[in-house]
Amino acid sequence: MFNIFSEIPGSAEHIPVTYKAIKRKIIENEIIGAQRKKGGKLPSIRELAFKLHTNQITVMRAIGELAGEGILVSVEKKGVYINDIDICRKYLVKNNIIGVILPGIDKNNIYYFDRVLMSIEAAAFKNNYNLIIQNLSWSTKKIEHYLENFVGYYRAAGIIMRLPSCFTNNALVKTASEMGTCIVTIDSEFPGAFTDAVIVDNFRGGYLAAAELIKNGHRRIAFFMDTVSDPSDRTDIVTDRYRGYCSALQENNIPVKQEWNISLEEPIKNYRKKDLALFITQEQITGIFCFNDHKCSDLVNYLSFSGISIPGDISVIGFDNINLSNNAGIHCASIDPRREEMGSKAVEFINDRITLPQIKEQRRWIINPCPVPGTSIAEPRV
């Protein structure tokens, strides 16, 4: 349950004493925050007075006004019941703040979500929003704490977040939305919670990556996976990219070979391990689609160290359009997920919810990725 009226925890000077403040606290903490539904019964007047640190007369006056506004209804000898949840939301005062929760941020590293954050910052500044940014640092431990702070303590107008699918507290996200906080998920969705979403079409991206290799004459194409456990849980994303890759191969009558889903159990930077290089040579693989640019760069380093020329002996393409350096001096071809659009669209969705209250439907924006040429692809040797 959220306590969304709190100021500084434990500070008695911020306890509301006027009936108007009590009205708002009943709505925020006893109706919305307590997740009560229409027809739900409120605690007794005595209980409310105790919980709200006030007297019963003040509580009765607040309830009387809320009943007059149609929010509550009092039934003689039975108690006070909720009549209309929607009217409550006009009392949910929000600050001009957007909270951001991202898996990993390191602006010195130009990682995937760093570019997303830069576009969020630019769009937020343009629309006069302040940002509070929380970096999960590839952990899931503080997600609930951050959400509760954004909704309760900071009273953020909106939240932009990319949370892993292993985070299953959809009830928390749903409650935050019901409290009037505009929530936009990027690269992820929450079934059962009213959130807008900005999604990259990873299936289309995987299709385009394979198509780039195919149009350059490659027909012996492998998919480079990751075996490292990832707390951001990108499993669905990688699966969609793989499905797109398979679709492109099948469309061009190229068999999909499961044994060509290659990876290294050890970190790929262990250049002494020759099994992968030997396998690629023996299988006469000429093209590899790597599920992201980090692994593509590592693979280029590994293959170059193993005496395999890129793109002379083998062509590679990555995903994410992160221009990473490698020992071979190769500019890897990639797929651009258009991260700038992801961030700016998320802010646009929040701003629309606030300035255009007539928008009631849940919205889902699909970003179509596009190929980015590089020097890592050439026609295969005959």
Burial status of residue 319 (CB atoms within 10 A of its CB: 0-12, 13-18, 19 or more):
buried
Domain-located, residue 24: yes
State residue 178's pLDDT score.
76
In angstroms, the CA 364 to CA 82 distance is 32
Question: What are the structure tokens assigned to 376, written together?
Answer: 């890592």
Residues 70 and 106 in one domain: no
Question: Whole-angstrom Cα distance, residue 374 to residue 24?
Answer: 58
219 and 257 part of one domain: yes
Whether residue 348 lies inside any domain: the answer is yes
Q: Does residue 379 lie in a domain region? A: no
Asked if 193 and 295 sit in the same domain, the reply is: no
Q: Has residue 378 been placed in a domain?
A: no
What pLDDT, on a 0 to 100 scale, did the predictor assign at position 10? Answer: 40
376 inside domain: no
Pairing of strands 370-372, 334-336: antiparallel
Q: Domain boundary at 53, 75, 91, which?
A: 91
Domain end, chosen from 57, 91, 125, is at: 91
**What CATH code is carried by the domain that includes residue 275?**
3.40.50.2300
In terms of domains, do 65 and 145 share one?
A: no
pLDDT of residue 269: 56
CATH number for 32: 1.10.10.10
7 in any annotated domain: no
In a domain, 377, yes or no: no
Helix pair angle (202-215, 235-251), 10° resolution: 40
Q: What is the pTM of this model?
A: 0.78
**Are 82 and 196 part of one and the same domain?**
no
CB of 158 closer than 8 Å to CB of 354: yes
155 and 4 in contact (C-beta within 8 Å)?
A: yes
Question: Is residue 66 located within the same domain as residue 118?
Answer: no
Shared domain check, 206 and 194: no
What 3-state DSSP class applies to 98?
Answer: strand
Local confidence pLDDT in tens for the 382 residues of the chain: 555 444 433 444 444 468 888 988 888 788 877 778 888 999 999 999 998 889 999 999 999 999 998 989 988 888 999 988 777 766 776 789 999 999 888 766 567 888 899 999 999 999 999 999 999 887 788 889 999 899 878 889 999 999 776 777 888 888 788 778 899 999 888 777 788 999 999 999 999 999 999 999 999 999 998 765 554 455 578 889 999 999 999 999 999 999 998 876 555 555 455 688 888 999 999 999 999 998 898 889 889 888 899 999 999 999 999 877 776 789 999 999 999 999 999 999 999 988 887 788 889 999 999 999 999 999 998 6
Range 127-146 burial, b when 16+ CB lie within 10 A, else e: eebebbebbbeeeeeebeeb
Residues 135 and 180 in one domain: yes
Cα–Cα distance measured from residue 72 to residue 60, given in angstroms and rounded to the nearest whole number: 12
Query: Residue 8 has what pLDDT?
Result: 36
- Is 381 part of any domain? no
Kind of pairing, strands 370-372 and 95-102?
Answer: unpaired
Same domain, 57 and 172: no
Is residue 72 located within the same domain as residue 102? no
Q: Per-residue DSSP letters for 302-370? A: HHHHTT--TTTT-EEE-SS------TT----BEEE--HHHHHHHHHHHHHHHHH-TT--S--EEEE--E
Domain count, the chain: 3
Peptide bond preceding 337: is omega within 30 degrees of 0, i.e. cis? no
Indicate if 122 and 149 belong to the same structural domain: yes
Name the residue range of residue 48's domain.
12-91
Q: Which of 52, 73, 91 is the last residue of a domain?
A: 91
Q: Kindly state whether residues 355 and 312 are assigned to the same domain.
A: no
